[in-house]
């Protein structure tokens, strides 16, 4: 499916985004991708009893001496990285009270991720989730994919989506089953207003994580976390059209709203982590580049730590 629309002026140009990635994020994600299966590569991954055909240069002599049987390090496969970005552009993303809307931030993040995985042989595909369903951009080189991401139409202003996040994850999982990286960029807001687990997207996300390395980027706006004391407000659900008048001068209402928002975000975080996916929360009022860089550095340190522990067993 295809969509039309004018790109928001709050999104950077590809040149501007490229400069940001080069100066602040370059070097965090590039090079050979460590696969999820054993195969030809250079990084020790699993210690196993020697079998005919194993590379004798990878024998661990210390373990061999203790076990009195030859053991070798099998390696983790290294291959070109296939990445798919699932970009939520439904009506709830057309909201922002700071410098940009959530949908524009999501598109910018998608472009940045595409540039981060730029390496020879790597390809990036895009699935944009809108009111009419999913729009697809076939996998292509990272820079072309980044340009396609930031040129996506802005999020719809109203209307319930024909495809929900749970169904979108299922469709994405069936699209390309070769192991790779999947990045889901969404506000994780349910059109029905559900804010307690289990969420309907948990099961398909768990299935996706079983085959791929998955990162969920949750996009927020500060006004979704707490109400300002500005008197009477008419709040409108952009997907259902429901309206509700709220008197924000009542501190008890503001406190209940903040408590419910906090509980919802905690439930989202617990749900995402229970599936095995990585979880990153970025706001329209934060330095998302710094937050993304911090997240990537932490993941790399954790990965290096796991490899070190395996080597010392």
Residues 75 and 193 in one domain: no
Question: How does residue 75 score in pLDDT terms, banded at 50, 70 and 90?
Answer: low
Q: pLDDT tens-digit profile of 133-156? A: 899 999 999 999 999 999 988 877
73 within 8 A of 60, measured Cβ to Cβ: yes
- Indicate whether 53 and 95 sit together in one domain: no
**Do residues 190 and 145 share a domain?**
yes
- Domain hosting 296: range is 14-30+80-301
Pairing between β-strand 71-79 and β-strand 133-140 as defined by DSSP bridges: unpaired
Q: What is the 3-state secondary structure (H, E, C) of 33-59?
A: EEEEEEEEEEEEEEEEECCCCCCHHHE
- For residues 205 and 95, membership in a common domain is answered with yes
- Same domain, residue pair 90 and 39: no
Angle between helices 102-116 and 142-150 (to 10 degrees): 170
| Distance of alpha carbon 167 from alpha carbon 207, whole angstroms | 12
pTM of the model: 0.78
pLDDT class of 43 with cuts at 50, 70, 90: very low
Residue count of the chain: 313
Could you tell me if 72 and 85 lie in one domain? Answer: no
**C-alpha angle with apex 116: 113 to 121, nearest 5 degrees?**
110
Pair 55, 116 in one domain: no
Is residue 48 domain-shared with residue 85, that is, in the same domain?
A: no
Q: Around 275, how many Cα atoms within 13 Å sit in the side-chain half-sphere?
A: 29
Axis-axis angle for helices 202-211, 165-175 (nearest 10): 20
Instruction: Find out whether 295 and 280 touch, Cβ atoms under 8 Å.
Output: yes
Say what percent of the chain tops pLDDT 90: 48
What pLDDT, in 10s, does the model give residues 77-102?
A: 545 788 999 999 998 999 999 889 99
- The verdict on 183 and 290 lying in the same domain is yes
Q: Do 284 and 294 fall into the same domain?
A: yes
- In the chain, the number of structural domains is 2
Residues 121 and 71 occupy one common structural domain: no
Residue 1 resides in a domain: no
Q: How many helices (H) and strands (E) does the chain have?
A: 8, 10
96-113: per-residue pLDDT in tens?
998 899 999 999 999 999
Residue showing tokens 């008048």: 245
Residues 109 and 256 in one domain: yes
């Amino acid at each position: 499916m295809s969509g039309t629309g004018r790109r928001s002026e709050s999104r950077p140009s590809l040149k501007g985004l490229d400069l940001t990635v080069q100066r602040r994020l370059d070097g965090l994600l590039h090079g050979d991708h460590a696969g999820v299966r054993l195969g030809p590569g250079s990084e020790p991954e699993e210690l196993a009893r020697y079998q005919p055909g194993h590379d004798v240069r990878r024998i661990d002599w210390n373990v061999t001496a203790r076990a009195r049987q030859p053991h070798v390090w099998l390696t983790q496969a290294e291959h070109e990285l296939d990445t798919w970005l699932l970009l939520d552009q439904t009506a709830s993303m057309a909201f922002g009270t700071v410098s940009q809307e959530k949908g524009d931030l999501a598109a910018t993040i998608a472009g940045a991720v595409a540039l981060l995985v730029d390496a020879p042989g790597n390809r990036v595909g895009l699935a944009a989730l809108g009111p009419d369903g999913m729009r697809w951009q076939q996998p292509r080189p990272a820079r072309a994919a980044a340009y396609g991401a930031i040129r996506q139409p802005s999020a719809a202003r109203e209307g319930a989506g024909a495809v929900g996040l749970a169904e979108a994850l299922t469709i994405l999982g069936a699209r390309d089953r070769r192991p790779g990286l999947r990045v889901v960029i969404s506000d994780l807001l349910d059109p029905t207003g559900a804010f307690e687990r289990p969420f309907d997207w948990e099961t398909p996300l768990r299935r996706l994580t079983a085959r791929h390395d998955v990162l969920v980027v949750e996009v927020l706006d500060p006004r979704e976390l707490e109400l300002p004391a500005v008197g009477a407000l008419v709040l409108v659900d952009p997907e259902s059209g429901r309206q509700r008048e709220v008197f924000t001068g009542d501190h008890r209402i503001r406190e209940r709203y903040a408590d419910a928002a906090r509980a919802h975000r905690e439930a989202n975080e617990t749900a995402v982590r229970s599936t095995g996916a990585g979880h990153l929360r970025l706001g329209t009022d934060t330095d998302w580049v710094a937050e993304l860089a911090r997240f990537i550095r932490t993941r790399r340190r954790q990965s290096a730590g796991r490899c070190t522990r395996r080597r010392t067993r």
